[in-house]
Structure 1
Amino acid sequence: MARGFGLCLEEDYGDVLDLEDIEVDWFQKMTEVNFDLGDEAETDDGGSRSDDIAWAGAAKPNGSTSAKVDLQRMTWYLLGFLDQYVHTAGTGDLHIHEFWGGENHELTSFVGIAMYDALKIALYGLIEDGLKLEVSDSAMTVNADWLYATEQGEILDIGEDFVEPEELEDSRIPVRFFDVSVLLNGEKPGSVQTSFNMEGSNNHDQDGTIGLSSRFPQEKPQAAKRTIKLSLATTLNRRSYREILNARYGEVNAVRPHACKILKVPLELRIVQCENPNQKLIIQFPQCTLKAEFDLKGADRVEATLNLQTLGNNEVTLNDGTTKVNTDIYCKLINKVPELTLEETPAVGD
């Protein structure tokens, strides 16, 4: 029996492959795997107090997954969420993957396998609509929201097991809170950060993919405005007063709200795994608006939250040292995963 989820790149969007022909690149046991056809029936009452006819409505397949972060599988999550990708061979068996947010409206699509014990569901035309990273005092989690085109199911025979692909090297150790650090405005904050949260959405338009002749999506959904919200939790004390007031008043060293300014700073998330320090993930948000919130409840410590909203008007220099791109998010991932590519995959690195 298996419970979990796996992915591989898709050659043609929504192409329904035979189940035996699908070979996912990885499979992970997960705490949450939920996929639904989104096919609510439509009804009509004809003026009566009760419905008397019903028919199949438009299908809007969607789902979500939740798992612990490891630096190998994050390659696929970042490829799905962002529209620009460059691979560079590193030293030894290491690979450098760079991802950033651009202006392409069609993102990479995948084929997925979701296992619910002996029930195997193949998911075609998977598009990553949302990506959420969270970490506090345990392992970092990655939550993804998906849209897809259609699915196909199979019930395994009694005694038959789902054959998982070979485990990705160095993927069994998750990212823990002590592997994670943050730079705010180029510096390590003076106070302790007790949690980090990133929530991004591609805001795909699934409605525009369903039209005459089929109730299922007929083409790849278009990504709309990309939104990324960040938050850092800390404690209000002498080590954090100044940072909190800067964010609250809109200017460094301000003592009252500025007449017209808001504070805008870069934020950088660094993940360096303790056991494998040569493998790392650096996520840069070149410019973000910054706002502080805090409240007092009795004798408890006063928790403060720094909320950031990314902007896409600052430059980042790529790993080659010369190429500069304007973006709201840039990721540099160094791991042991080879280049992810398909000639048919659109809008990646264009």
Structure 2
Amino acid sequence: MNRFKRDMDKFIGESPRFNEALKQKILMNAKDGNTSKGSNKRGWSTFRFAAIFVLFLIGVNSFLAVTLTQDGLETPTSTSGQSGEPVKNFTDKSKNWKVTYTQKDLSAGGRDSFMTIEYIGEGPKPKEIGYRFVYKKDQELFGGSLLLNENGSYTDVGFGTCKTCILYAEDDEIPGTIEWEGQQESLVLTKTDMSKWQESPLFDSGSYTMIGEEGRVGFIYDDSEVTRFYEDKKQKYMWHFWGSQVEITGSFKVVGTHENSSDEIIVVPEGKESFLSPNNGADHHIPTHMSLPEKGMWKLEAVFNEKVIGTVYVEVHAK
């Protein structure tokens, strides 16, 4: 773009504006050409076309000059969404619960944040829970209730973008409680540099090593350089499933979530309905191509007929 602007300046001058004086000069030249000795109708048409073309180029150059020199810069800098935003994770575990609060510091001030609540206890997961967290004696508090989803998880609590909210510092603490079925446990969320999620375990099935939930869902993966995920690198991965025909056939897709975001992306688009196809000791298998755009931990949810039937956690490595 800058090269085009420089070429334009050489042709019509460096002034970034098409003013009245320049317009009159071009029109006078065109008029003189029309009345000069030896001119003819064909010559005038050619010159008129050239004059109109020059006027058009001047207009384009004027527009480019205004656009490219905004704020004193010829080329405005581009932003890449939230990838460059500092992220802080505050977490804690109790006997039955793990809570992680994720804060993204926005470059323009303020924050974007959400909270993840996971049940890590034994026995069935509670169908409904209550949570309440307080920052520095009621300077800021947030609470509410969550219902257990069909996939056995609790929906992330999204707080959205706020330009006037408090930005939690490295040494801040966020105390709170989780309540369920007449029980209560306390937690104190503190800053951590550890990943919020851990990569799923490897297991063997048939003659292959897989990653995921053994006896439920996984795909061929041995954590070698060949099978590892790298940013934006698309590779083949063979998913395998265990279960009844009703729950692991039909429309299939894979939904991904990065550990530092509550936004979901479609990793494997929904395709044609599948039918049972046993392979490598599993009841069903589906070949796919997958690519993940950002390094860090990712949660991959295998979804049949809009129902999550299993989750695989993987790490994406830098290129």
Instruction: Indicate the TM-score class for this superposition, using the shorter chain for normalisation.
Output: under 0.3
- The structure number with the bigger radius of gyration is 2
After TM superposition, the score normalised by the length of structure 1 is 0.24
After TM superposition, the score normalised by the length of structure 2 is 0.25
